[in-house]
Amino acid sequence: MLDKILTENFRRTLKMVFTDINNQQDRRDEHEFAKDEVRIKERLLDTFTTHRHDVILENDFRIAAIDGSGTDSLMTLDDIRIHLLSTSTVVVDTNTQSENLFSPIERDTLENELGEQPHIDIHWHSGVRGDARNKLAETLASIYPLKDVASLTLPFFKDHTKGEIASFSDFGDTEYEKHVPRLRELESLISREQLLTNPTVHEEIRKTSEYAAARRLLMSDIQPKYLLLDGALSVFMHFVRHYPSMPSGFMLRDVCALARQKNVVLCAVSKNHTIPFAHRIAGMAREKFGASAKWFCHLPSREDPEGGLHIYEDRTYIPPMLAVPYLYSFSRDNRPSRIDFDRIWWLENIFVPGDPGATRSNEKTLFAELEFMSRDARWYGYPVPLALAHESCKLSYEDLRLAKEVCMDVRSEMGLEMRKAEPLRADYDL
């Protein structure tokens, strides 16, 4: 293959693709961006005063972070795939008073409250019709701590309808009335049955496992000020029924509601994001505040004063439903990341109607704290609790190899038929 990649012909093909992108997408985006440029620069982009490195906070606080990892093919037995998931919760304390900044709380304390860390889940399903959905529902039900499906679904509707639906009796005369029977069983909340591929199933369990960990944390006595998740606070909707197409969407809103109730700032950070023109916004920030500045940029939605930005007008899920995304950078060496907040919390705690100055002031306080927790030299610019959670849960190639060996070992211990755990293609060295 290398002989092809290194040819002039390959370069020509690439040139054609880039020209194509440039002609179609970039030109359109440039046009749209031009409309947003002044607004971004003047009113959405800002910097903030960072905490001194030797600051002593009057009230030190805890920050929790949750991350998950896994594989959808721990072992393949004909059409059965065994999934392995690991979810980790890390809690750090700002500890400015003891000068031992952001040190994780004792593992014993954490495990007493939340159970073993990282937490391991296993799932399997076969190719038999309906099995994926049945087993997925079973697994989700066993993982998520809130077992009452009606209570699970309600927070979404409550937030989505701005409080119009506050209980099941409020569904009458709404577009959801006809779907109420579906909202009583977890299995019937899985409305993307046709798309239940292994990666989709895996992703759904992974999210559920993370949200389950979040729920457990919020219900515990740990009482963090922040709870950080990895990714985005996106809820994927069923296009016809207008509610989440998978149970994890409801779970996310359940967690958001619980976080608000417990006074915890819930946010989700994504290094990998698809915010268009992020590099141009970063360039603007450099130009406006200097190369070493730490900055954030609000990405408003249609419902905000002045409406949403033109650059993501036609991009689904930006901003995500019921969430407020920001672009931010705390390190000159890294590309900007995205952080999402629960919109309901944001409206209650950050946004001050009719007072953009007060809103901005709240944002600055928020980002100063987020930046303070993102100064670990190992992952400078990225929140350290999330990085620690990631380190704790990640399943390396070597871990997976060993897990596969353990699988074979256990089967042999049980006297079951000997089956290799490596992918089938490994037999041919492919």
How crowded is residue 100: how many other Cβ atoms within 10 Å of its Cβ? 10
- If one asks whether residue 334 binds other proteins (CB under 8 A), the answer comes out as no
Which residue number, 52 or 425, has a Cβ lying nearer to other proteins?
52
- If one asks whether residue 111 binds other proteins (CB under 8 A), the answer comes out as no
Which residue number, 260 or 294, has a Cβ lying nearer to other proteins?
294
Q: How many residues bind other proteins (CB under 8 A)?
A: 18
Site string for other proteins, 234-273 (x = CB under 8 A): ----------------------------------------
The torsion angles phi and psi of 86, rounded to 5 degrees, stand at -125, 135
Please state, in angstroms and rounded to a whole number, the distance separating the CA atoms of residues 122 and 86. Answer: 9
- If one asks whether residue 291 binds other proteins (CB under 8 A), the answer comes out as no
- If one asks whether residue 50 binds other proteins (CB under 8 A), the answer comes out as yes
Which residue number, 51 or 241, has a Cβ lying nearer to other proteins?
51
How near is the Cβ of 205 to other proteins at its closest, in Å? 26
How near is the Cβ of 102 to other proteins at its closest, in Å? 4
Which residue number, 386 or 403, has a Cβ lying nearer to other proteins?
386
Site for other proteins in 177-216 (CB under 8 A): none
Binding residue (CB under 8 A) for other proteins from 161, 188, 223, 331: 331
Q: What is the SS3 string spanning 311-361?
A: HHCCCCCCCCCCEEEEEEECCCCCCCEEEEEEHHHHHHHCCCCCCHHHHHH
Please state, in angstroms and rounded to a whole number, the distance separating the CA atoms of residues 146 and 128. Answer: 29
Binding residue (CB under 8 A) for other proteins from 66, 101, 165, 299: 101
Q: Which amino acid is at 270?
A: S
Residue 27 near residue 58, CB atoms below 8 Å? no
Binding residue (CB under 8 A) for other proteins from 45, 92, 259, 324: 92
Site for other proteins in 348-407 (CB under 8 A): 375-378, 380, 384, 388, 391
Angle at CA 274, nearest 5°, toward 344 and 379? 85
Please state, in angstroms and rounded to a whole number, the distance separating the CA atoms of residues 360 and 330. Answer: 18
Distances (CA, A) of 258 to 72, 243, 313, 343, 381: 30, 19, 31, 14, 28
How near is the Cβ of 378 to other proteins at its closest, in Å? 6
Closest CA to 332 of 296, 286, 375: 286
**In the structure encoding, which two tokens stand for residue 397, read together?**
């190639």
Which residue number, 377 or 418, has a Cβ lying nearer to other proteins?
377
Which residue number, 288 or 394, has a Cβ lying nearer to other proteins?
394
How near is the Cβ of 43 to other proteins at its closest, in Å? 28
Taking CB under 8 A as the binding criterion, the range among 95-103, 108-116, 121-129, 236-244 that sits at the site for other proteins is 95-103
Taking CB under 8 A as the binding criterion, the range among 47-55, 112-120, 171-179, 257-265 that sits at the site for other proteins is 47-55
- If one asks whether residue 4 binds other proteins (CB under 8 A), the answer comes out as no
Which residue number, 92 or 218, has a Cβ lying nearer to other proteins?
92
Residue 417 near residue 408, CB atoms below 8 Å? no
How crowded is residue 379: how many other Cβ atoms within 10 Å of its Cβ? 18
Which residue number, 188 or 331, has a Cβ lying nearer to other proteins?
331
**In the structure encoding, which two tokens stand for residue 45, read together?**
């982009």
DSSP SS3 for 296 = strand
Which residue number, 302 or 378, has a Cβ lying nearer to other proteins?
378
Closest CA to 390 of 65, 109, 61: 65
Please state, in angstroms and rounded to a whole number, the distance separating the CA atoms of residues 260 and 77. Answer: 44
Which residue number, 234 or 374, has a Cβ lying nearer to other proteins?
374
**In the structure encoding, which two tokens stand for residue 6, read together?**
């290194």
**What residue ranges bind other proteins (CB under 8 A)?**
50, 52-53, 92, 100-104, 331, 375-378, 380, 384, 388, 391
